[in-house]
A and B are shown apart, each in its own frame.
Chain A
Protein backbone atom coordinates (compact mmCIF):
# COMPACT_ATOMS: atom_id res chain seq x y z
CA UNK A 1 0.00 0.00 0.00
CA UNK A 2 2.92 2.31 0.80
CA UNK A 3 3.91 2.07 -2.85
CA UNK A 4 0.57 3.58 -3.92
CA UNK A 5 0.57 6.18 -1.15
CA UNK A 6 3.77 7.69 -2.57
CA UNK A 7 2.43 7.97 -6.13
CA UNK A 8 0.65 10.95 -7.66
CA UNK A 9 -3.11 10.85 -7.38
CA UNK A 10 -3.44 11.25 -11.15
CA UNK A 11 -1.37 8.14 -11.81
CA UNK A 12 -3.25 6.10 -9.21
CA UNK A 13 -6.66 7.10 -10.54
CA UNK A 14 -5.66 6.53 -14.16
CA UNK A 15 -4.65 2.98 -13.33
CA UNK A 16 -7.53 2.39 -10.90
CA UNK A 17 -10.53 4.65 -11.70
CA UNK A 18 -12.48 3.15 -8.81
CA UNK A 19 -10.08 4.91 -6.39
CA UNK A 20 -11.31 8.25 -7.75
CA UNK A 21 -14.91 7.21 -7.08
CA UNK A 22 -14.08 6.15 -3.52
CA UNK A 23 -12.27 9.44 -2.84
CA UNK A 24 -15.25 11.34 -4.23
CA UNK A 25 -17.54 9.65 -1.70
CA UNK A 26 -15.43 11.35 0.99
CA UNK A 27 -15.71 14.69 -0.80
CA UNK A 28 -12.11 14.43 -2.03
CA UNK A 29 -12.71 15.42 -5.62
CA UNK A 30 -9.41 14.67 -7.33
CA UNK A 31 -10.78 13.15 -10.54
CA UNK A 32 -11.60 16.39 -12.39
CA UNK A 33 -8.52 18.18 -11.02
CA UNK A 34 -6.31 19.35 -13.87
CA UNK A 35 -3.19 19.54 -11.70
CA UNK A 36 -3.49 16.27 -9.75
CA UNK A 37 0.16 16.18 -8.77
CA UNK A 38 -0.60 15.58 -5.09
CA UNK A 39 0.64 12.28 -3.73
CA UNK A 40 -2.09 9.90 -2.59
CA UNK A 41 -0.76 10.03 1.01
CA UNK A 42 -0.93 13.84 1.02
CA UNK A 43 -4.44 13.81 -0.42
CA UNK A 44 -5.59 11.62 2.46
CA UNK A 45 -3.87 13.48 5.30
CA UNK A 46 -4.43 17.01 4.06
CA UNK A 47 -8.21 16.63 3.93
CA UNK A 48 -8.15 16.03 7.67
CA UNK A 49 -11.05 13.58 7.67
CA UNK A 50 -12.47 12.32 10.95
CA UNK A 51 -10.14 9.50 12.03
CA UNK A 52 -12.80 6.82 11.59
CA UNK A 53 -13.62 8.01 8.07
CA UNK A 54 -9.92 8.09 7.20
CA UNK A 55 -9.46 4.52 8.46
CA UNK A 56 -12.44 3.35 6.42
CA UNK A 57 -11.18 5.21 3.32
CA UNK A 58 -7.76 3.58 3.64
CA UNK A 59 -9.36 0.19 4.13
CA UNK A 60 -11.58 0.56 1.04
CA UNK A 61 -8.73 1.80 -1.16
CA UNK A 62 -6.44 -1.01 -0.08
CA UNK A 63 -9.21 -3.54 -0.72
CA UNK A 64 -9.65 -2.07 -4.18
CA UNK A 65 -5.94 -2.08 -5.00
CA UNK A 66 -5.27 -5.53 -3.52
CA UNK A 67 -8.50 -7.52 -3.95
CA UNK A 68 -6.85 -10.79 -2.89
CA UNK A 69 -5.30 -9.40 0.29
CA UNK A 70 -6.81 -9.95 3.73
CA UNK A 71 -7.11 -6.25 4.59
CA UNK A 72 -7.93 -5.28 8.17
CA UNK A 73 -9.89 -2.17 9.10
CA UNK A 74 -7.72 -0.20 11.51
CA UNK A 75 -9.29 0.94 14.72
CA UNK A 76 -9.42 4.71 14.90
CA UNK A 77 -9.77 6.83 18.00
CA UNK A 78 -11.56 10.08 17.33
CA UNK A 79 -9.67 13.14 18.44
CA UNK A 80 -11.54 15.58 20.58
CA UNK A 81 -12.47 18.73 18.73
CA UNK A 82 -11.40 21.85 20.55
CA UNK A 83 -12.83 25.18 19.61
CA UNK A 84 -12.45 26.86 23.00
CA UNK A 85 -10.03 29.66 23.84
CA UNK A 86 -6.41 28.68 23.32
CA UNK A 87 -3.61 30.43 25.20
CA UNK A 88 -0.66 31.90 23.33
CA UNK A 89 2.60 29.94 23.88
CA UNK A 90 4.05 32.12 26.67
CA UNK A 91 0.74 32.22 28.54
CA UNK A 92 0.36 28.48 28.05
CA UNK A 93 3.81 28.08 29.61
CA UNK A 94 2.57 29.82 32.77
CA UNK A 95 -0.60 27.73 32.81
CA UNK A 96 1.46 24.54 32.41
CA UNK A 97 3.60 25.60 35.38
CA UNK A 98 0.38 26.08 37.34
CA UNK A 99 -0.40 22.41 36.78
CA UNK A 100 2.77 21.43 38.66
CA UNK A 101 2.20 23.99 41.41
CA UNK A 102 -1.39 22.78 41.87
CA UNK A 103 -0.09 19.21 42.22
CA UNK A 104 2.32 20.28 44.97
CA UNK A 105 -0.39 22.33 46.67
CA UNK A 106 -2.74 19.33 46.63
CA UNK A 107 -0.06 17.15 48.29
CA UNK A 108 0.16 19.62 51.18
CA UNK A 109 -2.90 17.83 52.66
CA UNK A 110 -0.99 14.52 52.70
CA UNK A 111 2.13 16.18 54.12
CA UNK A 112 0.12 17.82 56.91
CA UNK A 113 -1.54 14.52 57.74
CA UNK A 114 1.93 13.11 58.38
CA UNK A 115 2.83 16.17 60.47
CA UNK A 116 -0.33 15.73 62.56
CA UNK A 117 0.19 11.99 63.04
CA UNK A 118 3.87 12.02 64.02
CA UNK A 119 5.35 13.75 67.00
CA UNK A 120 8.68 14.04 65.19
CA UNK A 121 8.58 16.51 62.31
CA UNK A 122 9.90 15.15 58.98
CA UNK A 123 12.21 18.13 58.37
CA UNK A 124 13.54 16.91 55.02
CA UNK A 125 10.07 16.43 53.58
CA UNK A 126 8.88 19.82 54.79
CA UNK A 127 12.02 21.63 53.66
CA UNK A 128 11.66 20.08 50.22
CA UNK A 129 8.07 21.34 50.07
CA UNK A 130 9.33 24.78 51.06
CA UNK A 131 12.12 24.59 48.51
CA UNK A 132 9.61 23.75 45.73
CA UNK A 133 7.46 26.71 46.70
CA UNK A 134 10.38 29.12 46.96
CA UNK A 135 12.27 27.93 43.91
CA UNK A 136 9.69 26.66 41.42
CA UNK A 137 6.52 28.54 42.39
CA UNK A 138 8.21 31.80 43.37
CA UNK A 139 11.60 32.22 41.71
CA UNK A 140 10.83 30.33 38.50
CA UNK A 141 7.10 31.07 38.01
CA UNK A 142 5.93 34.11 39.98
CA UNK A 143 9.04 36.05 38.98
CA UNK A 144 8.04 35.76 35.32
CA UNK A 145 4.64 37.23 36.18
CA UNK A 146 6.03 40.01 38.35
CA UNK A 147 9.12 41.01 36.37
CA UNK A 148 7.90 40.41 32.82
CA UNK A 149 4.19 39.68 32.25
CA UNK A 150 2.68 42.43 34.36
CA UNK A 151 4.69 45.02 32.42
CA UNK A 152 2.23 44.27 29.61
CA UNK A 153 -0.71 45.27 31.84
CA UNK A 154 -1.61 48.30 33.90
CA UNK A 155 -0.03 47.55 37.28
CA UNK A 156 -2.38 50.02 38.96
CA UNK A 157 -5.37 47.82 38.14
CA UNK A 158 -7.02 46.27 41.18
CA UNK A 159 -6.79 42.74 39.82
CA UNK A 160 -3.01 43.02 39.39
CA UNK A 161 -2.63 44.50 42.88
CA UNK A 162 -4.60 41.57 44.34
CA UNK A 163 -2.43 39.04 42.51
CA UNK A 164 0.79 40.71 43.70
CA UNK A 165 -0.58 40.88 47.23
CA UNK A 166 -1.28 37.13 47.07
CA UNK A 167 2.39 36.54 46.25
CA UNK A 168 3.48 38.62 49.25
CA UNK A 169 1.01 36.88 51.57
CA UNK A 170 2.16 33.48 50.31
CA UNK A 171 5.81 34.34 51.01
CA UNK A 172 4.82 35.38 54.52
CA UNK A 173 3.17 32.01 55.16
CA UNK A 174 6.21 30.13 53.87
CA UNK A 175 8.59 32.17 56.04
CA UNK A 176 6.39 31.31 59.03
CA UNK A 177 6.52 27.62 58.05
CA UNK A 178 10.35 27.71 57.94
CA UNK A 179 10.46 29.34 61.38
CA UNK A 180 8.05 26.71 62.73
CA UNK A 181 10.16 23.88 61.25
CA UNK A 182 13.19 25.29 63.08
CA UNK A 183 11.37 25.33 66.40
CA UNK A 184 9.44 22.09 65.75
CA UNK A 185 6.12 23.90 66.20
CA UNK A 186 3.72 21.51 64.48
CA UNK A 187 0.63 23.67 65.03
CA UNK A 188 2.24 26.65 63.27
CA UNK A 189 3.40 24.46 60.39
CA UNK A 190 -0.16 23.17 59.92
CA UNK A 191 -1.72 26.63 60.23
CA UNK A 192 0.53 28.32 57.66
CA UNK A 193 0.74 25.50 55.13
CA UNK A 194 -3.05 25.15 55.26
CA UNK A 195 -3.40 28.88 54.69
CA UNK A 196 -0.87 28.74 51.83
CA UNK A 197 -2.75 25.84 50.24
CA UNK A 198 -6.06 27.73 50.31
CA UNK A 199 -4.43 30.94 49.07
CA UNK A 200 -2.61 29.35 46.12
CA UNK A 201 -5.58 27.25 45.05
CA UNK A 202 -7.75 30.33 44.80
CA UNK A 203 -4.92 32.40 43.31
CA UNK A 204 -4.25 29.96 40.47
CA UNK A 205 -7.96 29.65 39.71
CA UNK A 206 -8.18 33.43 39.39
CA UNK A 207 -5.23 33.51 37.01
CA UNK A 208 -6.21 30.53 34.86
CA UNK A 209 -9.89 31.39 34.54
CA UNK A 210 -9.92 35.18 34.44
CA UNK A 211 -6.66 37.08 34.50
CA UNK A 212 -4.57 35.14 32.01
CA UNK A 213 -7.28 34.82 29.31
CA UNK A 214 -7.92 38.54 29.69
CA UNK A 215 -4.25 39.48 29.42
CA UNK A 216 -3.75 37.08 26.53
CA UNK A 217 -6.61 38.57 24.51
CA UNK A 218 -5.07 42.02 24.93
CA UNK A 219 -1.60 41.01 23.69
CA UNK A 220 -0.60 41.80 20.12
CA UNK A 221 1.14 39.15 18.02
CA UNK A 222 4.39 41.04 18.43
CA UNK A 223 4.01 41.17 22.23
CA UNK A 224 3.40 37.42 22.33
CA UNK A 225 6.72 36.91 20.54
CA UNK A 226 8.50 39.27 22.95
CA UNK A 227 7.04 37.54 26.00
CA UNK A 228 8.02 34.15 24.62
CA UNK A 229 11.65 35.22 24.24
CA UNK A 230 11.76 37.00 27.62
CA UNK A 231 10.38 33.93 29.39
CA UNK A 232 12.93 31.73 27.59
CA UNK A 233 15.72 34.08 28.69
CA UNK A 234 14.48 34.12 32.29
CA UNK A 235 14.34 30.31 32.31
CA UNK A 236 17.83 30.08 30.81
CA UNK A 237 19.25 32.42 33.46
CA UNK A 238 17.96 30.13 36.21
CA UNK A 239 19.18 27.02 34.40
CA UNK A 240 17.66 23.61 33.78
CA UNK A 241 18.59 22.20 37.15
CA UNK A 242 16.12 24.27 39.17
CA UNK A 243 12.92 23.03 37.48
CA UNK A 244 14.35 19.54 37.11
CA UNK A 245 15.13 19.00 40.79
CA UNK A 246 11.78 20.41 41.89
CA UNK A 247 9.74 18.45 39.38
CA UNK A 248 11.75 15.41 40.47
CA UNK A 249 10.63 16.07 44.04
CA UNK A 250 7.03 16.35 42.81
CA UNK A 251 7.39 12.92 41.23
CA UNK A 252 8.65 11.53 44.53
CA UNK A 253 5.53 12.95 46.25
CA UNK A 254 3.44 11.29 43.60
CA UNK A 255 5.11 7.96 44.30
CA UNK A 256 4.68 8.46 48.08
CA UNK A 257 1.09 9.70 48.24
CA UNK A 258 -0.77 8.95 44.99
CA UNK A 259 -3.21 6.05 45.28
CA UNK A 260 -1.73 2.93 43.68
Chain B
Protein backbone atom coordinates (compact mmCIF):
# COMPACT_ATOMS: atom_id res chain seq x y z
CA UNK B 1 0.00 0.00 0.00
CA UNK B 2 2.38 2.71 -1.17
CA UNK B 3 0.05 5.04 -3.09
CA UNK B 4 -0.68 8.17 -1.11
CA UNK B 5 -4.34 9.21 -0.95
CA UNK B 6 -4.69 12.94 -1.43
CA UNK B 7 -8.02 14.38 -0.43
CA UNK B 8 -9.67 17.24 1.44
CA UNK B 9 -10.71 15.75 4.74
CA UNK B 10 -9.90 12.64 6.74
CA UNK B 11 -12.50 11.65 9.34
CA UNK B 12 -11.29 9.35 12.08
CA UNK B 13 -14.26 7.32 13.29
CA UNK B 14 -17.33 6.09 11.39
CA UNK B 15 -19.83 6.58 14.21
CA UNK B 16 -22.92 8.78 13.82
CA UNK B 17 -20.98 12.04 14.28
CA UNK B 18 -18.33 11.06 11.73
CA UNK B 19 -21.08 10.07 9.29
CA UNK B 20 -23.01 13.30 9.67
CA UNK B 21 -19.76 15.25 9.24
CA UNK B 22 -19.57 13.73 5.74
CA UNK B 23 -22.95 15.35 5.04
CA UNK B 24 -22.01 18.80 6.31
CA UNK B 25 -18.62 18.71 4.55
CA UNK B 26 -20.24 17.41 1.37
CA UNK B 27 -22.72 20.29 1.22
CA UNK B 28 -19.68 22.58 1.18
CA UNK B 29 -17.96 20.55 -1.59
CA UNK B 30 -15.37 18.87 0.59
CA UNK B 31 -14.52 15.23 -0.10
CA UNK B 32 -13.97 12.93 2.84
CA UNK B 33 -12.27 9.63 3.54
CA UNK B 34 -13.12 7.80 6.76
CA UNK B 35 -10.92 5.43 8.78
CA UNK B 36 -12.39 3.17 11.47
CA UNK B 37 -10.89 0.28 13.41
CA UNK B 38 -14.11 -1.75 13.44
CA UNK B 39 -15.09 -4.06 10.59
CA UNK B 40 -18.38 -2.19 10.16
CA UNK B 41 -19.71 1.34 9.89
CA UNK B 42 -21.55 2.90 12.83
CA UNK B 43 -19.13 3.00 15.77
CA UNK B 44 -20.59 2.31 19.20
CA UNK B 45 -24.13 2.46 17.82
CA UNK B 46 -23.41 -0.53 15.58
CA UNK B 47 -20.96 -2.38 17.82
CA UNK B 48 -22.51 -1.98 21.26
CA UNK B 49 -26.11 -0.82 20.81
CA UNK B 50 -27.46 -1.98 17.42
CA UNK B 51 -30.80 -3.07 18.91
CA UNK B 52 -31.00 -0.44 21.64
CA UNK B 53 -33.53 2.40 21.40
CA UNK B 54 -32.51 6.05 21.05
CA UNK B 55 -35.22 8.58 21.92
CA UNK B 56 -33.41 11.91 21.70
CA UNK B 57 -32.62 12.45 18.03
CA UNK B 58 -34.50 15.65 17.12
CA UNK B 59 -37.50 14.88 14.92
CA UNK B 60 -37.13 11.11 15.30
CA UNK B 61 -39.16 9.93 18.30
CA UNK B 62 -37.62 6.45 18.25
CA UNK B 63 -34.80 4.76 16.39
CA UNK B 64 -32.33 1.96 17.15
CA UNK B 65 -28.55 2.28 17.15
CA UNK B 66 -28.31 0.41 13.85
CA UNK B 67 -31.30 2.37 12.54
CA UNK B 68 -29.62 5.75 13.00
CA UNK B 69 -26.48 4.44 11.24
CA UNK B 70 -28.50 3.11 8.31
CA UNK B 71 -30.44 6.38 8.04
CA UNK B 72 -27.23 8.42 8.09
CA UNK B 73 -25.71 6.20 5.39
CA UNK B 74 -28.76 6.92 3.22
CA UNK B 75 -28.46 10.64 3.96
CA UNK B 76 -24.75 10.85 3.02
CA UNK B 77 -25.03 8.65 -0.06
CA UNK B 78 -24.83 11.57 -2.54
CA UNK B 79 -21.38 12.49 -1.24
CA UNK B 80 -19.65 9.17 -1.98
CA UNK B 81 -17.25 9.10 0.94
CA UNK B 82 -14.59 6.35 0.99
CA UNK B 83 -14.41 4.08 4.03
CA UNK B 84 -11.29 2.30 5.25
CA UNK B 85 -12.45 -0.20 7.84
CA UNK B 86 -10.38 -2.30 10.26
CA UNK B 87 -7.74 0.35 10.05
CA UNK B 88 -6.35 2.69 12.68
CA UNK B 89 -4.59 6.02 12.31
CA UNK B 90 -1.21 5.86 13.99
CA UNK B 91 0.71 9.00 13.18
CA UNK B 92 -0.14 12.53 12.06
CA UNK B 93 2.63 14.73 10.76
CA UNK B 94 2.15 18.39 9.87
CA UNK B 95 3.73 19.07 6.48
CA UNK B 96 2.00 22.28 5.38
CA UNK B 97 -0.28 25.07 6.47
CA UNK B 98 -2.39 23.17 7.08
CA UNK B 99 -1.48 19.95 5.36
CA UNK B 100 -1.00 16.66 7.14
CA UNK B 101 0.56 13.32 6.34
CA UNK B 102 -1.36 10.59 8.11
CA UNK B 103 -0.23 6.98 8.39
CA UNK B 104 -2.42 4.04 9.38
CA UNK B 105 -1.47 0.73 10.97
CA UNK B 106 -1.84 -0.88 7.55
CA UNK B 107 0.77 1.44 6.10
CA UNK B 108 -1.72 3.54 4.16
CA UNK B 109 -0.71 7.16 3.76
CA UNK B 110 -3.03 10.15 3.37
CA UNK B 111 -2.14 13.72 2.53
CA UNK B 112 -4.98 15.92 3.66
CA UNK B 113 -5.80 19.47 4.53
CA UNK B 114 -8.20 18.85 7.38
CA UNK B 115 -8.52 16.07 9.98
CA UNK B 116 -11.75 15.50 11.90
CA UNK B 117 -11.35 13.30 14.96
CA UNK B 118 -14.76 11.74 15.60
CA UNK B 119 -13.41 8.81 17.55
CA UNK B 120 -16.01 8.66 20.33
CA UNK B 121 -14.59 6.82 23.32
CA UNK B 122 -11.47 5.91 21.38
CA UNK B 123 -10.70 2.87 19.30
CA UNK B 124 -12.15 -0.53 20.06
CA UNK B 125 -9.44 -2.88 21.33
CA UNK B 126 -9.59 -6.39 22.76
CA UNK B 127 -10.53 -6.26 26.40
CA UNK B 128 -8.06 -7.37 29.05
CA UNK B 129 -9.85 -9.87 31.28
CA UNK B 130 -9.89 -8.99 34.98
CA UNK B 131 -7.26 -11.58 35.98
CA UNK B 132 -4.77 -10.23 38.53
CA UNK B 133 -1.25 -9.85 37.15
CA UNK B 134 -2.14 -10.83 33.57
CA UNK B 135 -0.13 -7.85 32.22
CA UNK B 136 3.12 -9.65 33.07
CA UNK B 137 2.37 -12.38 30.53
CA UNK B 138 0.99 -10.26 27.70
CA UNK B 139 2.67 -10.69 24.28
CA UNK B 140 4.88 -13.47 25.68
CA UNK B 141 2.33 -16.14 26.48
CA UNK B 142 -0.99 -14.28 26.75
CA UNK B 143 -2.42 -13.04 23.45
CA UNK B 144 -5.63 -11.17 22.61
CA UNK B 145 -5.43 -11.84 18.90
CA UNK B 146 -3.82 -14.41 16.65
CA UNK B 147 -1.47 -13.08 14.00
CA UNK B 148 0.25 -16.32 13.05
CA UNK B 149 -1.25 -19.68 13.84
CA UNK B 150 2.18 -21.30 13.50
CA UNK B 151 3.28 -19.51 16.67
CA UNK B 152 1.02 -21.94 18.53
CA UNK B 153 2.16 -25.16 16.87
CA UNK B 154 2.64 -28.04 19.31
CA UNK B 155 1.78 -25.85 22.27
CA UNK B 156 -0.75 -26.45 25.02
CA UNK B 157 -3.36 -23.76 24.48
CA UNK B 158 -6.00 -22.45 26.82
CA UNK B 159 -8.69 -20.41 25.05
CA UNK B 160 -11.15 -18.52 27.25
CA UNK B 161 -14.52 -17.13 26.21
CA UNK B 162 -17.86 -18.00 24.69
CA UNK B 163 -18.18 -15.64 21.76
CA UNK B 164 -17.35 -16.01 18.07
CA UNK B 165 -13.65 -15.15 18.46
CA UNK B 166 -13.13 -17.80 21.13
CA UNK B 167 -14.99 -20.47 19.15
CA UNK B 168 -13.49 -19.58 15.76
CA UNK B 169 -9.95 -19.74 17.12
CA UNK B 170 -10.70 -22.95 18.97
CA UNK B 171 -11.73 -24.56 15.68
CA UNK B 172 -8.78 -23.12 13.74
CA UNK B 173 -6.10 -23.86 16.31
CA UNK B 174 -7.31 -27.35 17.33
CA UNK B 175 -5.23 -29.07 14.59
CA UNK B 176 -2.17 -26.88 15.31
CA UNK B 177 -1.92 -27.10 19.08
CA UNK B 178 -0.57 -30.16 20.87
CA UNK B 179 -3.47 -29.82 23.30
CA UNK B 180 -6.31 -27.32 23.40
CA UNK B 181 -8.71 -26.49 26.20
CA UNK B 182 -11.67 -24.17 25.76
CA UNK B 183 -12.78 -22.61 29.04
CA UNK B 184 -16.09 -20.80 29.45
CA UNK B 185 -18.09 -19.97 32.57
CA UNK B 186 -21.31 -21.63 31.40
CA UNK B 187 -22.56 -24.11 28.82
CA UNK B 188 -24.42 -21.45 26.78
CA UNK B 189 -22.46 -19.57 24.14
CA UNK B 190 -22.81 -16.23 22.39
CA UNK B 191 -21.02 -17.67 19.38
CA UNK B 192 -22.80 -18.91 16.25
CA UNK B 193 -24.57 -22.25 16.94
CA UNK B 194 -22.76 -23.85 14.00
CA UNK B 195 -19.34 -23.13 15.56
CA UNK B 196 -20.56 -24.44 18.90
CA UNK B 197 -21.70 -27.68 17.24
CA UNK B 198 -18.36 -28.10 15.49
CA UNK B 199 -16.54 -27.49 18.77
CA UNK B 200 -18.72 -30.06 20.56
CA UNK B 201 -17.93 -32.59 17.81
CA UNK B 202 -14.19 -32.10 18.43
CA UNK B 203 -14.81 -32.58 22.15
CA UNK B 204 -16.78 -35.77 21.39
CA UNK B 205 -13.89 -37.08 19.27
CA UNK B 206 -11.50 -36.42 22.15
CA UNK B 207 -9.52 -33.87 20.13
CA UNK B 208 -10.04 -30.93 22.48
CA UNK B 209 -11.35 -30.32 26.00
CA UNK B 210 -14.21 -28.05 26.96
CA UNK B 211 -14.18 -27.02 30.61
CA UNK B 212 -16.60 -24.89 32.65
CA UNK B 213 -15.10 -22.24 34.91
CA UNK B 214 -13.37 -18.87 35.16
CA UNK B 215 -9.66 -18.10 35.39
CA UNK B 216 -8.96 -16.58 38.79
CA UNK B 217 -5.16 -16.47 38.66
CA UNK B 218 -2.15 -17.29 36.50
CA UNK B 219 1.14 -18.86 37.52
CA UNK B 220 4.40 -18.82 35.64
CA UNK B 221 7.64 -16.91 35.46
CA UNK B 222 9.41 -14.38 33.27
CA UNK B 223 6.30 -13.80 31.20
CA UNK B 224 5.83 -17.48 30.46
CA UNK B 225 2.57 -18.81 31.84
CA UNK B 226 2.71 -22.34 33.26
CA UNK B 227 -0.81 -22.87 34.52
CA UNK B 228 -4.13 -21.18 35.08
CA UNK B 229 -6.01 -21.47 38.35
CA UNK B 230 -9.64 -21.99 37.42
CA UNK B 231 -12.64 -21.47 39.66
CA UNK B 232 -15.75 -23.59 39.23
CA UNK B 233 -19.23 -22.20 39.84
CA UNK B 234 -19.33 -23.87 43.27
CA UNK B 235 -16.23 -21.91 44.29
CA UNK B 236 -13.80 -24.86 44.20
CA UNK B 237 -10.65 -24.50 42.11
CA UNK B 238 -8.46 -26.61 39.84
CA UNK B 239 -5.49 -26.03 37.54
CA UNK B 240 -5.01 -26.17 33.79
CA UNK B 241 -1.41 -26.45 32.57
CA UNK B 242 -0.77 -24.42 29.42
CA UNK B 243 1.95 -22.77 27.37
CA UNK B 244 -0.25 -20.00 26.01
CA UNK B 245 -3.49 -18.33 27.04
CA UNK B 246 -5.85 -16.68 24.55
CA UNK B 247 -8.62 -14.79 26.37
CA UNK B 248 -11.45 -13.41 24.23
CA UNK B 249 -13.46 -11.01 26.38
CA UNK B 250 -14.89 -8.70 23.75
CA UNK B 251 -13.88 -5.16 22.97
CA UNK B 252 -13.34 -2.06 25.00
CA UNK B 253 -12.59 1.51 23.96
CA UNK B 254 -9.13 2.99 24.39
CA UNK B 255 -7.96 6.46 23.50
CA UNK B 256 -4.86 5.00 21.86
CA UNK B 257 -2.76 7.14 19.53
CA UNK B 258 -5.02 10.23 19.77
CA UNK B 259 -3.07 11.42 22.82
CA UNK B 260 0.15 11.55 20.74
CA UNK B 261 -1.08 13.96 18.08
CA UNK B 262 -0.05 17.12 19.89
CA UNK B 263 -3.50 18.46 20.76
CA UNK B 264 -4.36 20.00 24.11
CA UNK B 265 -6.24 17.37 26.12
CA UNK B 266 -8.65 17.56 29.07
CA UNK B 267 -7.94 15.04 31.86
CA UNK B 268 -5.78 13.14 29.35
CA UNK B 269 -8.98 11.79 27.82
CA UNK B 270 -10.71 14.43 25.73
CA UNK B 271 -9.62 16.81 23.00
CA UNK B 272 -10.12 20.42 24.02
CA UNK B 273 -11.92 22.37 21.29
CA UNK B 274 -13.00 25.92 20.52
CA UNK B 275 -16.80 26.00 20.47
CA UNK B 276 -16.90 28.48 17.58
CA UNK B 277 -15.64 25.83 15.16
CA UNK B 278 -14.71 22.69 17.13
CA UNK B 279 -11.09 23.02 16.16
CA UNK B 280 -8.46 21.59 18.52
CA UNK B 281 -5.34 23.43 19.64
CA UNK B 282 -3.70 22.25 16.39
CA UNK B 283 -5.03 24.34 13.48
CA UNK B 284 -6.61 22.04 10.89
CA UNK B 285 -7.40 19.22 13.32
CA UNK B 286 -10.99 19.27 14.57
CA UNK B 287 -12.73 17.06 17.13
CA UNK B 288 -16.46 16.35 17.26
CA UNK B 289 -18.70 14.04 19.26
CA UNK B 290 -17.89 12.19 22.48
CA UNK B 291 -14.14 12.63 22.15
CA UNK B 292 -14.09 16.42 22.54
CA UNK B 293 -14.42 18.65 25.56
CA UNK B 294 -15.53 22.22 26.10
CA UNK B 295 -17.35 23.92 28.98
CA UNK B 296 -20.87 22.50 29.14
CA UNK B 297 -20.11 19.50 26.89
CA UNK B 298 -22.85 16.86 26.74
CA UNK B 299 -22.10 13.48 25.20
CA UNK B 300 -25.17 13.38 23.01
CA UNK B 301 -25.41 12.40 19.37
CA UNK B 302 -27.33 15.60 18.68
CA UNK B 303 -24.47 17.69 20.09
CA UNK B 304 -22.06 15.90 17.75
CA UNK B 305 -24.26 16.75 14.76
CA UNK B 306 -24.22 20.45 15.67
CA UNK B 307 -20.45 20.30 16.18
CA UNK B 308 -20.02 18.78 12.71
CA UNK B 309 -21.99 21.58 11.07
CA UNK B 310 -19.84 24.30 12.66
CA UNK B 311 -16.64 22.35 11.97
CA UNK B 312 -17.45 22.24 8.25
CA UNK B 313 -17.67 26.04 8.07
CA UNK B 314 -14.11 26.45 9.36
CA UNK B 315 -12.79 23.44 7.43
CA UNK B 316 -14.01 25.16 4.24
CA UNK B 317 -11.55 28.02 4.91
CA UNK B 318 -8.64 25.58 4.93
CA UNK B 319 -9.74 23.51 1.94
CA UNK B 320 -10.81 26.47 -0.23
CA UNK B 321 -8.91 29.48 1.13
CA UNK B 322 -9.89 31.66 -1.83
CA UNK B 323 -13.60 30.83 -1.94
CA UNK B 324 -16.18 32.86 -0.07
CA UNK B 325 -18.64 30.72 1.82
CA UNK B 326 -22.29 31.72 1.46
CA UNK B 327 -24.63 30.32 4.07
CA UNK B 328 -27.53 28.43 2.44
CA UNK B 329 -30.48 26.24 3.40
CA UNK B 330 -31.11 22.82 1.85
CA UNK B 331 -34.80 23.77 1.73
CA UNK B 332 -34.31 26.65 -0.69
CA UNK B 333 -30.85 26.46 -2.27
CA UNK B 334 -30.81 24.97 -5.76
CA UNK B 335 -27.06 24.47 -5.59
CA UNK B 336 -27.29 22.48 -2.34
CA UNK B 337 -30.17 20.46 -3.78
CA UNK B 338 -28.06 19.64 -6.83
CA UNK B 339 -25.35 18.27 -4.58
CA UNK B 340 -27.98 16.16 -2.84
CA UNK B 341 -29.22 14.92 -6.19
CA UNK B 342 -32.77 16.19 -5.65
CA UNK B 343 -32.85 19.31 -7.82
| Pairing of A with B | no
**Chain A residues at the B interface, C-beta cutoff of 8 Å:** none
**Chain B residues at the A interface, C-beta cutoff of 8 Å:** none
